[in-house]
Structure 1
Amino acid sequence: MNQKLLMAIYFYPRGGSSQVVRYLYQRLEKKWSSALYSGSLGNKGLLTNAETFYRPLNVKSLDYTTAHTAWQKGTNPFDTENPMQASLEDRINVPDTLMARLSPEQLAKQIQSWRHLFSKELLEPALAHLHHLTPMHNAVYELWKKTKIITHLHGTELKMIEYIRSNPKLPFGDWWIEKMIENANMSNLIITVSPHDRDLALELLSVPKHKVITIPNGVDIEIFKPTTLPDKVKMSYWKHWLVTDPQGWKPNHNPGTIRYTENDLKEFYNDDGSCAPILLFVGRFTTFKRINVLLDAYSIFKSHSKQNAPLIIWGGFPGEWEGEHPYEFARKRSIDGVFFSGWRGHDDLPLGLTSSNIFVAPSVREPFGQTYLEAMACALPVIATSTGGPASFINTEPGKKTGWLVNPDDPYSLANALQEAVEDQNLRETAGQNARDYIERMYSWDNIAEQFTSTYQYVLSHK
């Protein structure tokens, strides 16, 4: 039997789905004859470069660098030989415009570029595991007639359909929804990352119920694990990330334009000189992440608590933000104690988590929540809202608290959770240990990869 597996992601490495591809493929390539494909941007050494990001995995990439350079020079990045990737999010002043703004002619060019790349495969794959719903689907459908398609939804494609429906003036919006529904229904199986997204996929994509299953993302529990750091070591990391090598960025400025001094780090200490509890947010500056709600809640918390507890905003891909930039939001409201560490490589994240005490991310309808799981694996209690993916894995076992679920878009509810987590050390440490125990049992990548192997075998055995 042909057991060739093709796994592909349309986007250059940037978001959580790229991390999922990397961790999952590492485990599956040991059991399958496989090929990995990805979009790529920039030269080797940059984290957006596919070869660099996926190293040591062998990856074949569609290079968007020429298209990106065309955009920088003021020409259309979708007219190049390898056109720029489109986005599932609608942002301004970026080269990767919203996918639903592409015309049928521009979509055809996208399909052709991926078809050309895939055509270099010597054998038709038995399975194509395609992440998101993108022009790659059309390329596979056109190129191979016997290949079975598994579509892996990460949630952002569903959010784009909702966005299109709420913005009827998008010139190609309805047409794009039709295309996405067609691609979903031509798939042999659709994988969602949470029960919330499973229900949403059934509603938005008009697919039969038996074709949609849920397999959550996993965590590498050998990389993300509890580590007790002495205060001096912990602060040496924060000094590096905030003072020595700052990567925070102001709107329309380069990384490193938000800088701190050692004196600014006094917020990290209690009166006795020990380290204060550290709050950590990790993510992109997108609307549904609700960073401004977090900043409002933090301001309320600061007005009610005498306990120092710096808030680190870790992330924000350079040049990308929706709504008011969080740095400007905090600056205009004089919210002290907030630190912007900028976008950092995923290899730094385990250290960032173990150098913190509480993970907080008040996203509304978060599709899954990979970084929540990684924080829990590091024995951090998590604060989230009672919506989306996190509600499926936080506080799910009676008597074993792993964090706090607060009302969405409610800064006062969030501020109360912040205060309880910061001021009750025993409670947060117990919740953190419960979180680690839960992740070890339920979400290790080795266990999750076995679910994918079983799924592949099921799809191959059914006509």
Structure 2
Amino acid sequence: MRRALQALVFFPRGGSAQVVHHLARALPAAGWGTRIVAGSLGGPGDPGHARSFFGPDADLVAVPYDDAVRAPDPMRASPPMHPSFEDRPGAPDRVAASLGADVAEHMASEWGRILAAPGVLDGVEVAHLHHLTPIHEAMARVSPGLPVVTHIHGTELLMLDEADAGASWPHTEEWRARMRRWAGASTAVLASSAPAAADAERLLGLDTGRVRVVPNGVDLRLFAERRAAPAERAALLRRWLCDEPRGWSPAHPVPGGVAYTPEQIAPLLDPRAVTVLYVGRFTAVKRAALLVRAHARAREQLGHPLPLVVAGGAAGEWEGEHPADAAARSPWGHEVFLAGWRAQSELAEVLACSDVMAVPSVAERFGQVYVEAMAMGVPVIACDAGAPPTFVEDDPASPERCGWLVPPDDEGALAQALVEVARDPAERALRGGNGPPRARARFSIEGVARTVADVYAAAASA
């Protein structure tokens, strides 16, 4: 078994951690074992705890951030808190482009120490580095001859896009230069979609065709096509929202800060209800609050419940308007339910209890949750922007249609799509039924792992 190192500076909380996890489990069948180096936050069972996330059998080097988040300056702790590509006031992980050369050097030095620790690089033939971070600088110092496969996930590109749009961070150009240098020095560069690859080449100064498109894979054993019976739906929703709540709001920013009584979840259990699911972090590009406002407009036109279950958002993390605040202002806010951050296995459970998944993200470089929903037979509503149009077919004349695409930031169009979904069960069933074969053909994690294994082999031989 050949060995690769997958390194992720962040603690598990987003799509890149899921990519690392899926690949680590699937690559051995393609001839490559994986050692994971990743950030970690919290204790066993917490969503950011690396061992709990990656599993007891993972070959894992966890980098704890618990002391850093309590330090006077988390970015100067040992080990330091990771930098962010998102600018959230008051967050311990400050946006990278606001950090000066001294902090960047401290992070590179600390990660050099982590990578140079006994056993971390033993037997490693390829370093698979996720995102563009100071791990690149550290790896170049510790093992300059080790081939590097850089995996672009999109948030770093969003930071550069925001800078180009006028964000005034003091050290943007220094970080742009670093990120370009790290990408340019990589043996291979991967992105999850053709739009993401084009953006990476544009923003990082890479030659056209330099970035290879490798989609994120889906575990089709977990996300297998199925619909939950009414009794199963009722039991899961009572457990998630009443018995074991994890919802939260700005006023109560801890898991379980928002909980519901059995009487309050009655709209979800109404036999006429069409249940909409949102899954994702509460970052600005996801537009969760926009969905809540569109939900109110759609509900005005319907004569039956249209409950919206909002799953996601690491406790205390949000940008812009929080969906709880949008729900508080909505006349139909009593049909909006905050379910909190959930493990991926739990996501499969709630997808089976949903009629449609709607995530109106305006800058999705891939969109793992759309493919997972499609794999389970749940039609999706996405924006006609970024990567989703490359795999969500919404042409009403196409026999392969599997979802709806709406213009970005068009609240009215999003509301109308929700109305169409709610009023036409036959169309929901048709589009939902077209999802699983498309997901199996294009996004099986086993097929993706074979492609990544080929990239590793080529990088190692180069």
- Superposition TM-score tier, normalisation by shorter sequence: over 0.9
Aligned partners of 2:40 and 2:269: how far apart in 1? 41
Number of corresponding residues: 454
In structure 1, the gaps of 5 or more residues are none
Return the letter of the residue paired with 1:247: R
* Secondary structure of 2:278 counterpart: strand
Tell me how far 1:79 sits from its aligned partner.
2.3
Return the offset for 1:269.
Answer: 3.9
The secondary structure found in structure 2 opposite 1:61 is strand
Q: CA deviation at 1:43?
A: 2.1
What is residue 414 of structure 1 aligned with on the other side? 414
Q: Determine the structure 2 residue equivalent to 1:230.
A: 229
Aligned residue number for residue 61 of structure 2 = 60
Distance, in Å, in 2 between the alignment partners of 1:438 and 1:206 is 33
The alignment partner of 1:321 has SS state of: coil
Name 2:287's counterpart in structure 1: 290
Q: Offset of 1:44 from its aligned partner?
A: 2.5
Q: 2:113 aligns with which of 109, 113, 116?
A: 116
Match of 2:373 in 1: 375
Alignment partners' CA distance in 2, 1:159 and 1:134:
14
More deviation in 389-398 or 19-28? 389-398
Contact 2:288 2:360 survives alignment (8 Å): yes
Give the TM-score taking structure 2 as reference length.
Answer: 0.95
The 5-angstrom pairing of residues 144-155 of structure 1 reads 144-155=143-154
Shift of 1:3: 4.3
**Which residue type is aligned with residue 39 of structure 2?**
G
How far did 1:47 drift? 2.3
Question: For 2:153 and 2:392, how far apart are their aligned partners in 1?
Answer: 19
| Counterpart secondary structure, 2:314 | coil
Partner deviation per Cα, 1:23-66 (whole Å, 9 max, x = no partner): 01111145125421111112223221111110121211211111
Aligned to 1:126: 125
Answer yes or no: is the 8 Å Cα contact 2:272–2:305 preserved in 1: no
Residue 275 of structure 1: how far off its partner (Å): 5.5
Q: Report deviation, 1:256.
A: 1.6
Measured in 2, the distance between the counterparts of 1:178 and 1:299 equals 45
Q: Distance in 2 between matches of 1:170 and 1:288?
A: 19
Name the SS for the 1:262 alignment partner: coil
Alpha-carbon distance change, 299 to 34 in structure 1, aligned in 2, over 3 angstroms? closer
Residue 190 of structure 1 aligns to which amino acid in structure 2? V
**After superposition, where does 1:41-52 map in structure 2 within 5 Å?**
41-52=41-52
Q: CA offset at residue 440 of structure 1?
A: 1.3
Question: Matched residues in 2 for 1:300 and 1:12: separation?
Answer: 37
1:320-359 to structure 2, matched below 5 A, reads 320-336=317-333, 337-359=335-357
Q: Within 5 A, what are the aligned runs for 1:393-432?
A: 393-395=391-393, 398-432=398-432
My pick for the range that moved more, 286-295 or 373-382, is 286-295
- Check if 1:91 corresponds to 2:88: yes
Instruction: Write the deviation string for residues 274-299 of structure 1: whole angstroms up to 9, x where unpaired.
Output: 25221000011111111122112111
Is the Cα–Cα contact under 8 Å of residues 12 and 38 in structure 1 kept in the other structure? Answer: yes
SS class of match (1:6): strand
Q: Return the alpha-carbon distance in structure 2 between the equivalents of residues 303 and 46 of structure 1.
A: 39
CA distance in 1, matches of 2:306, 2:331: 16
- Taking a change above 3 Å as real, the CA distance of residues 205 and 439 of structure 1, as seen in their structure-2 partners, is same
Cα displacement (A) at 1:114: 1.2
CA distance in 1, matches of 2:209, 2:288: 37
Superposed, 1:378-393 pairs within 5 Å as: 378-393=376-391
Superimposed CA distance per residue, residues 407-453 of structure 1 (whole angstroms, 9 cap, x where no aligned partner): 11111111111111111111111111100111111111011111111
1:299 to 272, 293, 296: 296
**Partner amino acid, structure 1, of 2:256:** G
> 2: distance between equivalents of 1:445 and 1:275?
36
Pairs within 5 Å for 1:56-205: 56-70=57-71, 75-120=72-117, 121=120, 123=122, 125-167=124-166, 169-205=168-204
Alpha-carbon distance between aligned partners in 2 of 1:290 and 1:168, rounded to the nearest angstrom? 19
Which aligned segments of 4 or more residues in structure 1 are displaced greater than 6 angstroms?
none
Consecutive unaligned residues of structure 2, counting only runs of 5 or more, are none
User: 1:250-269 alignment to 2 at 5 Å?
Assistant: 250-253=249-252, 254-269=254-269
SS of corresponding position for 1:175 = helix
**Mapping of residues 22-33 of structure 1, within 5 Å:** 22-30=21-29, 31-33=31-33
Deviates more, 1:36-45 or 1:200-209: 36-45
Secondary structure, in 3 states, of the residue corresponding to 2:242?
helix
Q: Is residue 452 of structure 2 the alignment partner of residue 452 of structure 1?
A: yes
Distance of 2:435 and 2:183 partners within structure 1: 35
**What is the one-letter code of the residue matched to 2:355?**
N
Percent of aligned pairs with the same amino acid: 34
Kept after mapping to 1: 8 A contact 2:201/2:210: no
1:335: Cα distance to partner? Answer: 3.0
Summarize the Cα distance change of 1:207–1:389 in structure 2 as closer, same or farther, 3 Å threshold: same
Residue matched to 1:242? 241
Mapped to 1, the partners of 2:52 and 2:289 lie a distance apart of 33
| In 2, Cα distance between equivalents of 1:172 and 1:125 | 34
Contact 1:161 1:177 in 2 (8 A): yes
Shift of 1:458: 2.4
Contact 2:288-2:322 at 8 Å conserved across structures = no
Alpha-carbon distance between aligned partners in 2 of 1:333 and 1:105, rounded to the nearest angstrom: 47
Say whether the 8 Å CA contact 2:296–2:332 is kept in structure 1: yes
* Cα RMSD, aligned residues only: 1.7
Q: Give the CA deviation at 1:168.
A: 5.1
Does 344-353 or 245-254 show the bigger shift?
Answer: 245-254
Aligned-partner Cα distance in 2 for 1:157–1:124: 30
Distance in 1, Cα, partners of 2:44 & 2:263: 37
Per-residue CA deviations over 1:137-178 (Å, capped at 9, x if unaligned) read: 001111112111110001101001112233453111111111
Q: 1:309 to 1:333 in 2, by over 3 A?
A: closer
